[in-house]
Amino acid sequence: MISIFEAQQVILEKVAPLPSEEVDLLHGLGRIISEEIVACWDLPSVDNSAMDGYAFSHKALQSNFMNVIGFLPAGTERTVPIPPGEAIKIMTGAPLPAGCDTVVPIEDVEALGDGIRLKSDVKAGAHVRRRGENVRAGARVIAAGTELSPLQIGLLASLGSTGISVHRRPKVAIIATGDELVEVGSVPDGATIVNSNSNSIATQVLEAGAEPVLLGIARDTREATREKILRGLDADVVITTGGVSVGDKDHVKEVIQELSAELLFWKVNVKPGKPTAFAMLGGKPFFGLPGNPVAAMIAFEQFVRPALLKMMGHLSVFRPVVKATSSDAFKNIGDRPHLLLCRVAMADGKHIVSISAAQGSANLVTIAQANGLIELPPGASIAPGTEADVTLLTRNFAMRSVCQ
Ligand code: AMP
Ligand code: MG
C-alpha cells in the first residue's frame, strides 16, 4: 500500500498551477502573483522631509540662526528656491524645495522672532528621505509565486498597481455519497445521518483559498454516482466522500473506471483515511475521500489541500510543523501510521500538546477541538514530557498563561 509521502508525491506530480486571471488589488490578498513586479518609478519619487521641521541648505549655514520664509505642508510643492541662509517650515512627506538639503526637527529648534535657532549641530542631509532610496525604477520588487499579504499589497499600491495577475482559484466539486444521508436542516431518524462531510470539506476548500461547488448527495446507485461525478467535471477538481470502500453499495471506483480514469492509488497506508483514492479524470484531479467524517477531513488535509495550493500557484504547500512537549501518553498498537488529532498551545514560550484518547474516525467532537496532527508510526509511542512533531492546522495559539 502506498505511504502518505508517496501519495502526496504522486498527487503533486499530477497537478499544475492554473492559468492566471486579473484581479483588482484588494482581491489580491492571499492570492499567488503570477507575474514579476518591477518598480515603474522611484520610491520615494522625490527627496522629501522625514520629519515635521525646517528645511534649509546645510552648506549655506553661517550661524545657528535662520529666517523662516514660508510653510510647506505635505502635498504641496514649492518651485521657488529657498535662498541660502534661510529656512522653510516643512511637514513630513512634503517635497524638499530647491536650495535645501537638510531638515531639522521642530523639537530641535527654538523659535526666535521670524526665525529659528538651532539648539545643537545638525548633520548635513539629516531627516531627508532621498528619491529612490527605497527602490529605483526598474528594480524587481515582487517575485512571481509570492503569496500576497497586506505587506505586498501596500507596496503594489505605492507603485500605482490597480490590478494584478494571479493564479486562478480552482473550483472544487464536492459530492457526498450515501443512502443514509439527509441534508443539514433535516432531523435524522434511526436510519439516517446528517451529511456533515459536504459542509466540512467545503469549508476546508474555502480555508485553502479555493471555491467549493456543492453538488449534494449521490444516492448509492451506479447511475446516481456517475451522474454527479460527470457534473463535477465542470469544476477543476472533483471530491467525493464515502462509497469508496469495498461494500456492496460502494460505486465510486467502478464509476470512475467506467469513465476511463487514470487511477493512481486506491488505498493509503494511514489511519484514519485508508480508503482514499486519487485519479485523473478527464484531465482533472479526482479525490475519493473516505465517508467517515474525521477520516475525510484528515485525508483532505493530507492529500487535497496540498494539491489545491499547488493549483493556486503556491510554492509551499505543506503546513508548518513544530516540536511540542506532550502532556499525554499514546501508543500506536495498529499496523498503519496513525495520524493523531491533538491540541497545541503555548506555555512559557514553548509548544505543548495534549492528545485525546478518543481518536475514532467518526468522532467529530475530537476533531472540533483539535488544532494539530501527529504522525505516529506503527508500534511507536509518546510518553508524557517527551517531544513530538506536530503539524499545525491553525496559525493562532492560545498562550496558556494569558488565555486560560
Ligand atoms: P462509506 O465509506 O460510504 O461506507 O461511509 C462510511 C461511514 O461514513 C458511514 O458510517 C457513513 O454513514 C459515514 N458517512 C458517509 N458519508 C457521510 C457524510 N457525507 N456525512 C457524514 N457521514 C458520512
Ligand atoms: Mg456509503
Write the DSSP assignment of 369-399 as a string of letters.
Answer: H--EEEEE-TT-EE-TT-EEEEEES-S---B
From the CB of 242, is ligand 1 less than 6 Å away? yes
289 shares a domain with 186? yes
Give the whole-number percent of the chain exceeding pLDDT 90.
91
Mention every residue, 6+ apart, whose C-beta is less than 8 A from residue 178: 195, 217, 219, 220, 242, 243, 291
Domain end call among 78, 107, 129: 129
* Domain C-terminal end among 311, 330, 358: 311
Full domain range(s) for residue 106: 48-129
Domain end residue (candidates: 311, 344, 365):
311
Contacts (Cβ under 8 Å, ≥6 apart) of 246: none
**What pLDDT, in 10s, does the model give residues 246-293?**
888 899 999 999 999 999 999 999 999 999 999 999 999 999 999 999
Give the distance, in angstroms, between the CA of residue 382 and the centroid of all CA atoms in the same chain.
31
Least distant ligand from the CA of 245: 1
For residue 365, what pLDDT is reported? 82
What proportion of the chain, given as a percentage, has pLDDT over 70? 98
pLDDT of amino acid 357: 80
Indicate whether 361 pLDDT > 90: no
Please check whether residues 173 and 90 belong to one and the same domain. no
Helix (H) or strand (E) holding 368: helix 364-369
pLDDT at 401: 53
Q: Is residue 340 one of the residues assigned to a domain?
A: yes
Residues 178, 305 within the same domain:
yes
Contacts of 153 (CB under 8 A, 6+ apart): 25, 26, 28, 29
Pocket test for ligand 1, best of 194, 239, 249, 292 (most atoms within 8 A of CB): 292
For the domain that residue 157 is a member of, what is the CATH number?
Answer: 3.90.105.10
If you average pLDDT over every residue of the chain, what do you get? 95
Q: Do 152 and 192 lie in a common domain? A: no
Chain Cα centroid distance, residue 39: 25
Q: Hey, what's the cell of 214?
A: 456543492
Structural domain includes residue 397: no
400 found inside a domain: no
Which pLDDT tens digit goes with each residue over 127-159?
A: 999 999 999 999 999 999 999 999 999 999 999
- Whether residue 197 lies inside any domain: the answer is yes
Q: Per DSSP, what are the bridge partners of residue 238? A: 173, 286
Q: State the CATH number of the domain containing residue 304.
A: 3.40.980.10
Nearest to 13 by CA among 320, 321, 253, 317: 317
362 pLDDT tier (thresholds 50, 70, 90)? confident
Are the CB atoms for 138 and 177 separated by under 8 Å? Answer: no
Residue whose grid cell is 487535497: 304
Residues 301 and 345 in one domain: no
Angle value at C-alpha 17, between 16 and 23, nearest 5 degrees: 165
Q: Is the bond leading into 84 cis (omega within 30 degrees of zero)?
A: no
Q: Which residues contact 297 (CB under 8 A, 6 or more apart)?
A: 200, 201, 204, 367
Q: Is residue 296 part of a domain?
A: yes
Q: How far is the CA of 271 from the centre of ligand 1 (A)?
A: 16
Identify the CATH number of the domain in which residue 337 sits.
2.40.340.10
37 and 54 together in one domain: no
Sign of the torsion angle spanned by Cα atoms 204, 341, 32, 236: negative
Angle at 13 between CA 11 and CA 17, to 5 degrees: 95
* CA-wise closest residue to 238 among 150, 307, 332: 307
- The structural domain count of the chain equals 4
Residue-level pLDDT at 404: 42
**Is 85 in the same domain as 97?**
yes
Q: Would 152 be classed as within a structural domain?
A: yes
Quick check: is 104 in a domain? yes
**Pair 79, 199 in one domain:** no
Domain co-membership, 302 together with 188: yes
Same domain, 185 and 290: yes
Domain assignment present for residue 401? The answer is: no
Residue 191 Cα to ligand 1 midpoint, Å, equals 12
Does residue 272 have its Cβ closer than 6 Å to ligand 1?
no
Query: Nearest residue CA, atom 14 of ligand 1?
Result: 291
- Mean pLDDT in residue range 168-173: 98
Q: Is 350's pLDDT higher than 90?
A: yes
Are the C-beta atoms of residues 294 and 362 closer than 8 Å to each other? yes
Q: Is the pLDDT of residue 102 over 80?
A: yes
Kindly state whether residues 231 and 335 are assigned to the same domain: no
Ligand 1 contacts CB of residue 176 (under 6 A): yes
DSSP character at residue 264? E
**Residues 263, 343 within the same domain:** no
